[in-house]
Each structure stands twice: as C-alpha cells, then as structure tokens.
C-alpha cells in the first residue's frame, strides 16, 4: 500500500463489526430498543466512523453528551434521532431545533426556554425529561417531578418523547442504590398516568444497569462502554457476550542492551536488575497513554507480556524484554491481542489506577485510527 510509509507506525485499530455485533448482543439481552452512546469521540473509537457504521447496521438512534457532537453527526449525514444527554445552554437551544435534535430538559426554567424558542421558530421540540433520582448531576429532583411532568406534558411546543434518569452505582451489582433509584424513577414516571398523559419512553440503564440490573431496562437502554466491548469496571459481571473493538498497536523503534545497575527514563526511577534487553516504543502520555503506567503496565511483543520500565515519557516509553528478542519495526501491542495473548483495557485501567472509560477517551487524535470491516484480515475487497 502506498500509504504505508506516510502513516505513523502507532495506530488504533477499530473493529467496526465488533461494535455492530455488540449492539445486537445488547439488544438481544435487554429485549428493548437501544440508544448507542457515542459521546467523547465514541469513547475514543471515532465518532463519525462508528456512528455511520452503526447507522448502516441496525442503530435506530444515538445519544451524545454535547450539541456540538450531535451537529458533527448531522454534518456527516447521520439522520437518525439523536438525544443530547447534557444540560442545555439557553443560547444553544436554537441549534437543537435547527438540526432536529432531541433535547434533555432538566428543569422547569429550561422547559420554558425551549418552549419560547420553539414557538418563536414555529417548530415543535422533541424533549426528554431528566429526573435526578440520586446521581446529583442534572435533572429535576425526583420529589419535585409532579409539576415538572405536568408542565411538560401540557406544553404545546414540546413533545415529550422520553423521560430518563442516570444510575450512580450500577457498576456494582451489590449496591442498594440502584433499586432505590429505580423506585424513585418509577414514582416520577407515574405522574404521566396520574394526569392521563401518554407514557413516553422511560430509560435508565447504562452499561452497568444493562449487565447487573434487568429491572432497569424499562423501555430503552443506553449503553456506552459496553458497546465497545469493555466492561465498566474490572469487577463487573460479563452478563452479555461482547467483543472488544479497539486495539492499540505500535512498533519497536529502538533496541538496546542495558547493563545491570543502569537506569532508564526520567528521574532514573528504574534500575536494570541484571543485564537485560530494553526496547523503546514511540507513544507516550502526549498521545493519552497514561504516565501512571510508569514501571507498572505491560505490553505484548511476539505474544509475550513484558513490563514497562521506568517513566512513560510524552512520546516514548521503554520495555524490559529480558532475554527475549525483538527487532526494530516488530509489532508491540498495548491493547488487544497478539499470538493468542491479549491485554484488555480493563487491565490497563487497573494498572494505571483509573477506570477503563478514562483510558479509552484519553487516546487522542495524535494516534491515527484505522477501521476494519468484514471479519478476519484477508479478504480486502473494500
Ligand atoms: C455516558 C452516559 C451513558 C453511558 O454510560 P456507560 O456507563 O458508558 O454505559 C448513559 N447515560 C448517560 C446519561 C450518560 O451520560
């Protein structure tokens, strides 16, 4: 391929079929419509390529965090309903109507703002009411849901297409918080029945809810991280068979023998315990590869795990491969599989002292993304 020499040897490889397969698996497991969440650059996988592929393979809607993300989707030709999950700013309401986006209405005053603008533009707004059942982020307090539901259901310029809340502790199957939030949410929804208004789509479950709390599936589920084949927490139960979609791959850029007692990288925090072989990998925290992995993480070379040696630098880090052999340009796998061994994002997160979400979304645009479609490598038709 003529592009081989102009592309950075470090790359993210995204298996789009894995994401589409995960969407199907989640739908089959939950038994209700799915709103795939593609915020934060589709959790680092690439907003537009992921959404376009899912639009062509069974998605019926999307959820994003910000209106800017939704506009990027519209401009890329995504015509499906898109719910913006974040709170709205008054001056941006017009954008929602102009681009035909679904609005999260999280207070009575925001409802009035949307109504006013919708009337001024002569266009009805599609809204989802946000109820705060314990997350404490945005939304009307569950105890005050009555008047809010009444005002929204009676609005001439707003069509209530959904009502939702967000779970704070669903990653933990043992937390009593989720049952409490579900109870509060259902009580809030009951106000629609009480006033004889049609019940909009009720949605509550994030990935943790989908995996651990079937009662929270209700009328629709909102998977983010699970869609990408990653579990929300290292302790989560893999109740749905999903496949990781993202691999992070680089190549050896330097090889040397390090004598016992010599140090490696900034701060000289790592000392060779014996004569050993050390490779340099050209990716660092400037790409979003966490500095917290200094002398903690592992990578794969020729299907074997080797430890990161010393501090992760901005653009490079070193790996102690012991007496194994490696040559310049040999493949180094930071996330993903190689010759029967695999490193998962969940494991990288534990090593870095964070959650898998942060590992994924930190991988920035300095790393080129490559998209795979159509099963195993080999048939390269298009
Ligand atoms: C991000 C987000 C989700 C998806 O969360 P995951 O834990 O990644 O499944 C669902 N709902 C809301 C409101 C969110 O902000």
In the chain, which segments carry CATH 3.20.20.10? 16-228
- In this structure, what are the phi and psi dihedrals at residue 17, rounded to the nearest 5 degrees? -65, -35
pLDDT at 380: 38
Q: What angle separates helix 47-56 from helix 67-75, to the nearest 10 degrees?
A: 60
Q: Hey, which of 22, 30, 37, 132 would you mutate to test ligand 1's pocket, going by the most ligand atoms within 8 Å of its Cβ?
A: 37
Alpha helices by DSSP H, the chain: 16-30, 39-43, 47-56, 67-75, 93-98, 108-121, 145-153, 177-194, 207-212, 345-352, 356-362
Contact 61, 23 (CB under 8 A): no
Terminal Cα distance for the chain, rounded = 14
Distance 306 CA to ligand 1 centre (A): 34
pLDDT at 375: 64
Q: Is residue 218 in contact with ligand 1, taking CB distance under 6 Å?
A: no
Which of 2.40.50.140, 3.50.30.10, 2.40.37.10, 3.40.250.10 would CATH assign to domain 246-343?
Answer: 2.40.37.10
SS3 state of residue 190: helix
pLDDT at 4: 56
Q: Is residue 203 in contact with ligand 1, taking CB distance under 6 Å?
A: no
Ligand 1 atom at minimal distance to the Cα of residue 207:
9
User: How many CB atoms are closer than 10 A to CB 29?
Assistant: 20
Contact 239, 211 (CB under 8 A): yes
Ligand 1 atom at minimal distance to the Cα of residue 226:
9
Residue numbers of the chain with a pLDDT score lower than 50: 1, 377-382
Alpha helices by DSSP H, 47-144: 47-56, 67-75, 93-98, 108-121
pLDDT at 159: 98
Q: How far is CA 348 from CA 127, 311, 326, in A?
A: 38, 16, 22
- With 0-12 / 13-18 / 19 or more C-beta atoms within 10 angstroms meaning exposed / middle / buried, residue 334 is buried
Measuring CA to CA, which residue among 205, 198, 207 is closest to residue 181?
Answer: 205
Q: Is residue 206 in contact with ligand 1, taking CB distance under 6 Å?
A: yes
pLDDT at 3: 53
Largest Cα–Cα separation, the chain: 79
**Which residue positions form the known binding site for substrate?**
137, 314
Task: Measure the CA–CA gap between 330 and 175, rounded to whole angstroms.
Answer: 45
Measuring CA to CA, which residue among 226, 244, 247, 227 is closest to residue 369?
Answer: 247
Give the residue, by CA position, lying nearest to ligand 1 atom 15. Answer: 85
Active-site positions read 39, 266
Distance 108 CA to ligand 1 centre (A): 23
User: How many CB atoms are closer than 10 A to CB 375?
Assistant: 9
Return the CATH number of the domain spanning residue range 16-228. 3.20.20.10
Q: Hey, which of 29, 63, 70 would you mutate to test ligand 1's pocket, going by the most ligand atoms within 8 Å of its Cβ?
A: 63
Q: Count the alpha carbons within 13 Å of 26 in the hemisphere toward its beta carbon.
A: 36
Ligand 1 atom at minimal distance to the Cα of residue 206:
9
pLDDT at 1: 47
In the chain, which segments carry CATH 2.40.37.10? 246-343
Q: Is residue 367 in contact with ligand 1, taking CB distance under 6 Å?
A: no
Q: Is residue 209 in contact with ligand 1, taking CB distance under 6 Å?
A: no
């Amino acid at each position: 391929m003529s592009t081989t020499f102009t592309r950075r040897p470090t790359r993210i490889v995204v298996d789009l079929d894995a994401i589409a397969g995960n969407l199907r698996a989640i739908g089959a497991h939950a038994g209700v419509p799915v709103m795939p969440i593609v915020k934060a650059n589709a959790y680092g996988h690439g907003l537009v390529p992921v959404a376009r592929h899912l639009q062509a393979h069974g998605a019926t809607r999307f959820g994003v965090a910000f209106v800017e993300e939704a506009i990027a989707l519209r401009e890329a030709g995504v015509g499906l309903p898109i719910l913006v999950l974040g709170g709205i700013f008054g001056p941006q309401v017009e954008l929602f109507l102009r681009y035909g986006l679904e609005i999260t209405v999280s207070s009575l005053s925001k409802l009035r703002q949307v109504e006013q603008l919708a009337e001024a533009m002569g266009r009805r707004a599609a809204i989802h009411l946000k109820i705060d059942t314990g997350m404490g982020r945005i939304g009307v307090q569950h105890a005050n849901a009555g008047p809010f539901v009444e005002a929204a259901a009676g609005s001439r310029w707003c069509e209530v297409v959904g009502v939702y809340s967000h779970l704070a502790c669903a990653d933990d199957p043992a937390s009593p918080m989720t049952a409490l939030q579900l109870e509060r949410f259902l009580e809030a929804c009951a106000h629609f029945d009480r006033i004889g208004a049609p019940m909009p789509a009720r949605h509550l479950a994030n990935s943790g809810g989908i995996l651990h709390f079937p009662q929270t599936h209700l009328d629709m589920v909102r998977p983010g991280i699970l869609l990408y084949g990653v579990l929300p927490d290292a302790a989560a139960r893999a109740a749905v068979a999903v496949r990781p979609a993202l691999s992070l791959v680089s190549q050896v850029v330097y090889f040397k023998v390090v004598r016992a007692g010599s140090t490696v990288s900034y701060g000289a925090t790592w000392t060779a315990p014996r004569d050993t072989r050390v490779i340099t990998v050209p990716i660092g925290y400037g790409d979003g590869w966490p500095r917290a992995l200094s002398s903690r993480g592992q990578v794969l070379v020729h299907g074997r795990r080797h430890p990161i040696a010393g501090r992760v630098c901005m653009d490079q880090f070193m790996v102690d491969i012991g007496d194994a052999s490696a040559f310049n340009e040999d493949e180094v796998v930071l996330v993903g599989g190689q010759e029967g061994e695999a490193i998962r994002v969940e494991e990288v997160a534990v090593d870095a002292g964070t959650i898998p979400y942060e590992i994924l979304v930190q991988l920035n645009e300095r790393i080129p993304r490559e998209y795979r479609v159509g099963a195993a490598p080999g048939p390269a038709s298009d």
